[in-house]
A and B are shown apart, each in its own frame.
Chain A
Amino acid sequence: GAGVSQSPSNKVTEKGKDVELRCDPISGHTALYWYRQSLGQGLEFLIYFQGNSAPDKSGLPSDRFSAERTGGSVSTLTIQRTQQEDSAVYLCASSLVGTGGTGTQYFGPGTRLLVL
């Protein structure tokens, strides 16, 4: 596709359930990022993938959060045992150049997660 796509666009789940959020980056982009946008915390970095390098997980808020990127393309963010404070919009971005911040990060429309 022409841009970064994310699915689902909206997800409502019950506290304690696991959820999976998907991101399809722009074709050919080597770097992929996950951010979270919430009312209390603003926009926060979660995790970064670049090529075959080990991902930078320094932004993940707890061990309930994990992410993988298969085949250097699609990424899945998994939240286990969801809590109400996980409610937020989860944004995915990709860029052609992963290091140095010189590559423009293109963002997807986000997945709006609501944990009841």
Chain B
Amino acid sequence: AQSVTQLDSQVPVFEEAPVELRCNYSSSVSVYLFWYVQYPNQGLQLLLKYLSGSTLVKGINGFEAEFNKSQTSFHLRKPSVHISDTAEYFCAVSGRGNDYKLSFGAGTTVTVRA
């Protein structure tokens, strides 16, 4: 089984400042890693995913994340945020093979202020 810990429940940030959302996972097997974003009153949208290969993954809306196997982390970053990035962000993990279920972290609420 896998589990995910998102280390920050809320992150306030000023517009055009950088932001980092921290995610650590626990698993006894190799995993796939995902970041999803949920805008108010909407469903989940995939930002980016790590399946294999390069540990630096680029996603939509200028987000990127780095997979660090030794630290079991998958932190999400954006160098300059916009007001429209205000949302809740979820880190998720699934196993490989037949372990398809996504296990989600508790979420990080990002509030961008002018």
Contact = CB atoms under 8 A, between A and B. Distances in A.
Interface of A: 4, 31, 33, 35, 42-45, 48, 50, 56, 59, 91, 93, 98-102, 104-110
B42 A104 contact: no
B102 A42 contact: no
Interface of B: 32, 36, 42-46, 49, 51, 90, 92, 94-107
A83 B89 CA distance: 29
A99 B46 CA distance: 18
Contacts, number: 60
A99 B104 contact: no
A77 to B, nearest CB: 15
A42 B99 CA distance: 20
Contact of B103 (A45, A102, A105): A45
Contacts of A59: 101
Contact of A45 (B96, B102, B107): B102
